[in-house]
Amino acid sequence: MSRVLEEIKRKAAKLYKHIVLAEGEDERTAKAAEVLIKQKIARVTLIGDKDKIKSKFKQIDFSGIDIVNPKTSDKFDYYANLLYELRKPKGMTIESAREVALYPLYFATLMLKAGDVDGMVAGAVNSTGDVLRPALQIIKTAPGIKSASSCFLMVLPEGSEQAVKYGEKGAFIFGDCGLIPNPTAEQLCDITFSCVDSFKSLIGGEPRVSLLSFSTKGSGKDPIVDKVVEAYNLLKGKNPDFLFDGELQSDAALVPEVAALKAPGSPIGGRANVLIFPDLNAGNIAYKLVQRLAGAEAIGPIIQGLDKPVNDLSRGCKTEDIVCAAAIVALKCK
């Protein structure tokens, strides 16, 4: 495991947040709860049938783990009413709310909305769409952000030449690489602010943002470039408290010597550590190339831009992935 992930777990343990794992009847999730408790990374609530979970996974020590069954929870009525109040403008009835609140993903999200937990992790069993649907309906986006997005924490091999030369000691935030296929200029702006928040909570240091394109400062002409330029101008109008530049080609974003030639006077000077991609094609291709060709650790996708932290998992995830996702969520708690 990279030093960055070890540091994330260490910081999470200091915060000791309360995380709900919505898929408690999945063995990897139940085991992750045990690890989180034993390593004192977080308090944990599992959602599911306690008797079924304990009988299925006899090898797991459930000491200190709270297990909540929506069907028998003494807070079910409260959560169902909360869901009804949130969704009745969309036509939801109280009967429908009571039915929907029984689903573990919705129940866990309602726990988060109510402030009974600090963050939520799911996706080992359910699809990204299933995880995000209740999050967007119940938690919604953070103030000033209209679109939720995702990022990857990319960590170059420790001690490698690349880790010394690039990013924040080899660490980057890449966004959006997993959620919005073709973001508008306004959405690129939202993605940028969310990625900066992710950088601050997960890496630390001074964010230096590059809005990437196949063009540097007007060298290429295309509507794709125009979108990135518009996003850059929108950012300028918001007067953010971080360094940023665009539109930049990747080499002008990452190599000071190239930046001096292609973008003289650039405030990030070829030292970007937050890379904003013009669309999902570019972002998804880039993170996989860096992962495979440079041997980088790719941690994510990390959901960002929500008012409270929810994180998705790959359905092929391992127990340690769930532990790391919970630690990341803990650092993104307000």
Domain with 91 in it: what CATH number?
A: 3.40.50.10950
Same domain? 294 vs 312? no
Mean pLDDT (the chain) is 95
pLDDT of residue 70: 97
3-state secondary structure of 160: coil
Same domain, 285 and 314: no
pLDDT of 2 > 80? The answer is: no
Label residue 263 by pLDDT band (50, 70, 90). Answer: very high
pLDDT of residue 301: 87
- In a shared domain, residues 126 and 11: yes
Residues 52-83: pLDDT tens digits? Answer: 999 999 999 999 999 999 999 999 999 999 99
pLDDT band at 7 (very low <50, low <70, confident <90, very high): very high
Report the number of distinct structural domains present in the chain.
Answer: 2
Residue 274 lies in a domain: yes
3-state secondary structure of 220: coil
Least confident of 170-174, 208-212, 213-217, 296-300: 296-300
Q: Are residues 247 and 287 in the same domain?
A: yes
Do 206 and 135 sit in the same domain of this protein? Answer: no
Residues 268 and 193 in one domain: yes
pLDDT at 5: 87
Q: How far apart are CA 191 and CA 180, in angstroms?
A: 9
- Enter the tokens of residue 124: 């080992």
Q: What is the CA angle 171-174-180, rounded to 5?
A: 160
**Mean pLDDT along residues 291-317:** 91
Mean pLDDT, residues 171-176 taken together = 96
- CATH number for 242: 3.40.50.10750
The pLDDT confidence band at residue 166, using thresholds 50, 70 and 90, is very high
Q: Looking at the domain assignment, is residue 131 inside a domain?
A: yes
Phi (first) and psi of residue 239, to 5 degrees: 50, 60
Share of the chain above pLDDT 90, in %: 91
- Residue 248 has a pLDDT of 97
Report residue 157's pLDDT band, with 50, 70 and 90 as the boundaries. Answer: very high
% of the chain at pLDDT higher than 70: 100
What is this structure's pTM? 0.90
Q: Is 292 exposed, middle or buried (0-12, 13-18, 19+ CB in 10 A)?
A: exposed
- Domain containing residue 294: 149-298
Quick: pLDDT tens for 186-202: 999 999 999 999 999 99
- Specify the DSSP element, H or E, that contains 186: helix 185-202
pLDDT at 1 over 70: no
Contact 128, 310 (CB under 8 A): no
Average pLDDT over residues 117-140: 95
Measured CA to CA, the distance from residue 181 to residue 128 in angstroms comes to 14
Could you give the CA distance from residue 155 to residue 169 in angstroms, rounded to a whole number? 9
Query: What is the per-residue pLDDT for 316?
Result: 85
